[in-house]
Structure 1
Amino acid sequence: MKETIEYENIGRYFSQMYRKGRIFYAHELKKFGLGSGQSIFLFQLYKKDGVTQDELANTLYIDKGTTARSLKTLENQGFIKKENLITDKRSNIIYLTPKALKLEKEITNILRKWDSILSSSLSEEEKNTLLVLLKKISDSNGLK
């Protein structure tokens, strides 16, 4: 009989949180006509508006095709507008529209709500430690 070796896989927990988060965001954002796939772009644009499409893709580590499709959806729904870069007509600068800005507080509160759910069983010290560790993992050379 083969002995099974139990191995705790860190990636498994990241994957579970990611999937649960997508379900949560999909449910919460439905009232705005948004999916979880578009929300990440809005969250980033709320941090820094008026960036190029390439900059968004690179910052979020999302391929250019997926970025283009998500931004097209957001544009069609009236959340963003694209303007051609004067120096390079092939590049677009992405701006939030008044519609998106009006919903900023509600939409960013959904992000805060998910963070609160994730950390509800942690002390303040544990939350801070977790953030430090997650940043360290995310910034490691092996993940670029």
Structure 2
Amino acid sequence: MKMLSVRDRRDRPPEEGVVAELQGFAVDKAFFTSHKGILLETELYYQHFNRLNWPCLDFLRCVSAIIIFLVVSFAAVTSRDGAAIAAFVFGIILVSVFAYDAFKIYRTEMAPGAIQGECPCSVERRCPPQP
């Protein structure tokens, strides 16, 4: 389906009804087969990939970010420049944020004692009733 430009719509006689209202929302089917379209589809429909362990992938993302920021932070602080020290501090803050995120992911999603049907909530919160 061809996307209409403003000039094409201006030169055509006005249409009436629902078709005229929805004309601006025309879908370009070629977009869905492009690289960007495929990437957006996988971002929107990640629930359909149920063979992937999403909590594990999220945990590995955090761990890899921790490693990268630690290496870059310590590499930046070797120059002893003012901006390098600020980069080191910022990197250490990011490492702590990612470490906390990895800890929370592990504790809530990947805890070794978690059994199917058992509520992974902390002791302070009440678990919802199981059906």
Is the pair's TM-score, using the shorter chain for normalization, greater than 0.5?
A: no
What is the TM-score of this pair, normalised by structure 2?
0.28
What is the TM-score normalised by the length of structure 1? Answer: 0.26
- The structure carrying a bigger strand percent of its residues is 1
Find the structure with the greater CA-based Rg.
2
